[in-house]
Structure 1
């Protein structure tokens, strides 16, 4: 897990020094380039605010980053395991292939052995790695305004139906349904913790979620039902503002979000969300704390449901709510992200406190 690593400043110092002590134990993801590297990478070093560190290659890939072509972070694992080396070579040779277990078996490999090897080295299976690589390429094309057929080819899908199916599994709708002339439009926002999808009208942000959140398709369907024209694709001013504010947030410079939000809900749920936004960055509360704050001390379970119903991640900070015993509780974006968000905000609080001390 990321929080078992040394602190980010230690890892960044190791990156600057090309310290071999952490080679293979930690990887750096660079938000400005979208790639991840070994800490010994010979490339020009990125700024600290653009770096996020993960302990496994799989987490880097799941967060939406591509392997660096200079330091080849996959190579060490490939050298350690001939099976991995051979399959990665096959993946590079045939990027257009829609890989399946049959393909792996026909190459003469034992499926369970391959699965264990990739899980051990990368935190994901070979098939998951191949699929993630292809789908991301298609999404990037669509996000830049490319046509569906172009996105399909960029994602290396053999057929339009296969691409539509993969797209629908993630977003609950086919790529063709996301037209550019809708009142609500979806766009992708890259972050150090993985891509997010933002849905905005011209004046308000309606949804902000991590792309791999399991409940995302249902949230989009609900949002579409409540809109008059459905959801298209493209940027809107609130999404652009959200992207800029998120960049400041992940750089540990500001946790202030002024993007106008449209988050319709019951009066009780709105009270819960208002209470969430009052939790200072770098601090946490329990569900019972929130229940007492809004004047309903016995409504802990209702507070938890309202917390889970939030569909504007980070800006309505449901990640700041933890168990009464201090343990992490469920988070739609994944507990590893919840932990990292809390760490980012603790770092931000330290920076803010230091600045205040200097001013005083």
Structure 2
């Protein structure tokens, strides 16, 4: 999200003037309607304080905004192929849906070619787009508060039930067990994307980039295991986390001391504790960690433990690379991994 007041004013002026030269440069999220638009959109223009500005469509989607039906911001700069139009329309009809190959067949679309076109046009995969819509809806619900759910406010859906489904499928309702834990969800802006934190007054349970693959599953497992309901709000732990993350990106932090809730097997915790003892600038291989743990043949198990980490950056799984020196995978994306390693090596 654009934070500079000067830049926001420039973008707002372009929005008011319907300046086509800014189409594709930024997207405007309109708080009062919940949609995001091209600068050249012909719809009625909002007040400055009701606008948020984003550099990508994915970021606007993750914030819970849906594409404007007047200017079709997802079609810039070219007319969309028919298959892609059908997919976008299908998602907007049922944003909370998780797509499978069978669903493409029902639309009469060849899934592989449609996915290739989607990636080429939007710079993100179809799965990323659909997931961004689902997560954006759920997070927006959290920000608006549980009363919004209770009152069945539709937030632009054809029905209130669609909105509720999108929320509960990701964030859930408490079970009928006696003890229900309340966990607080908050957001942290970083130079490489917004992060979501889940905390209570004692621990940090989850810290992930909001468009990380598998985030919905992570949240669902955490919620079920803790029998928790997620609400939006700050805790002393979320504030400490945000403070230290900001220091980290400013190269002013040597070691995190946020209290962590480590939810994993004994082996996973051993791997994570090795990572916690590493220092900025270190690079570890899966085999090295396995050797430290007493069995150099457990590289794959170390990789699985690394992938199961729910607390990005603080438990620095980005420091684990392949034995051949290549970066390997990263839940938040390889470009972020590269950024973090470069950031730490320059401290």
Under a length normalisation based on structure 1, what TM-score does the superposition of the two structures give? Answer: 0.58
Task: Provide the rounded CA distance (Å) in 2 between the counterparts of 1:304 and 1:126.
Answer: 27
Cα gap change, 1:309 to 1:78, in 2 (>3 Å):
closer
Residue 114 of structure 1, CA deviation:
7.5
Equivalence for 1:322:
321
* Aligned counterparts, 1:19-34, within 5 A: none
Map Cα deviations across residues 108-155 of structure 1 (whole Å, 9 max, x no partner): x99679766543221347897587457525522422425215685225
* Aligned counterparts, 1:160-199, within 5 A: 160=161, 162-171=162-171, 173-174=172-173, 183-192=181-190, 193-199=192-198
Task: Provide the rounded CA distance (Å) in 2 between the counterparts of 1:253 and 1:64.
Answer: 29
Equivalence for 2:256:
257
* Aligned counterparts, 1:219-238, within 5 A: 220-221=220-221, 224-225=224-225, 227=226, 230-234=228-232, 235-238=234-237
Residue 287 of structure 1, CA deviation:
0.7
Cα gap change, 1:306 to 1:134, in 2 (>3 Å):
closer
* Aligned counterparts, 1:1-80, within 5 A: 57=56, 60=59, 74=73, 78-80=76-78
Equivalence for 2:345:
349
- Tell me how large the CA RMSD over aligned residues is: 5.0
Equivalence for 2:154:
153
Equivalence for 2:32:
none
Structure 1 gap ranges (5+): 1-22, 30-35, 39-51, 102-108, 353-360
Partner SS, residue 242 of structure 2: helix
User: 2:138·2:170 contact (CA, 8 Å) conserved in 1?
Assistant: no
Residue 299 of structure 1, CA deviation:
3.3
Partner SS, residue 346 of structure 1: helix
Cα gap change, 1:244 to 1:154, in 2 (>3 Å):
farther
Partner SS, residue 201 of structure 2: coil
Equivalence for 2:139:
139
User: 1:199·1:205 contact (CA, 8 Å) conserved in 2?
Assistant: yes
User: 1:281·1:346 contact (CA, 8 Å) conserved in 2?
Assistant: no
User: 1:319·1:338 contact (CA, 8 Å) conserved in 2?
Assistant: no
Say yes or no: does 1:241 pair with 2:240: yes
Equivalence for 2:15:
none
User: 1:187·1:198 contact (CA, 8 Å) conserved in 2?
Assistant: yes
Map Cα deviations across residues 294-344 of structure 1 (whole Å, 9 max, x no partner): 44434333323332332222211112212212234343x24xx24313323
Residue 188 of structure 1, CA deviation:
3.3
Task: Provide the rounded CA distance (Å) in 1 between the counterparts of 2:26 and 2:277.
Answer: 32
Partner SS, residue 76 of structure 2: helix
Equivalence for 2:203:
204
Cα gap change, 1:190 to 1:73, in 2 (>3 Å):
farther
Partner SS, residue 198 of structure 2: strand
Cα gap change, 1:132 to 1:152, in 2 (>3 Å):
farther
Partner SS, residue 217 of structure 1: helix
Cα gap change, 1:155 to 1:142, in 2 (>3 Å):
farther
Equivalence for 1:122:
122
Structure 2 gap ranges (5+): 1-20, 28-35, 39-53, 100-106
Under a length normalisation based on structure 2, what TM-score does the superposition of the two structures give? Answer: 0.60
Residue 249 of structure 1, CA deviation:
3.3
Residue 81 of structure 1, CA deviation:
2.6
Task: Provide the rounded CA distance (Å) in 2 between the counterparts of 1:188 and 1:157.
Answer: 28
Partner SS, residue 81 of structure 1: coil
Task: Provide the rounded CA distance (Å) in 2 between the counterparts of 1:114 and 1:301.
Answer: 33
Map Cα deviations across residues 159-186 of structure 1 (whole Å, 9 max, x no partner): 41x3343334444x24x77xxx954413
User: 1:188·1:197 contact (CA, 8 Å) conserved in 2?
Assistant: yes
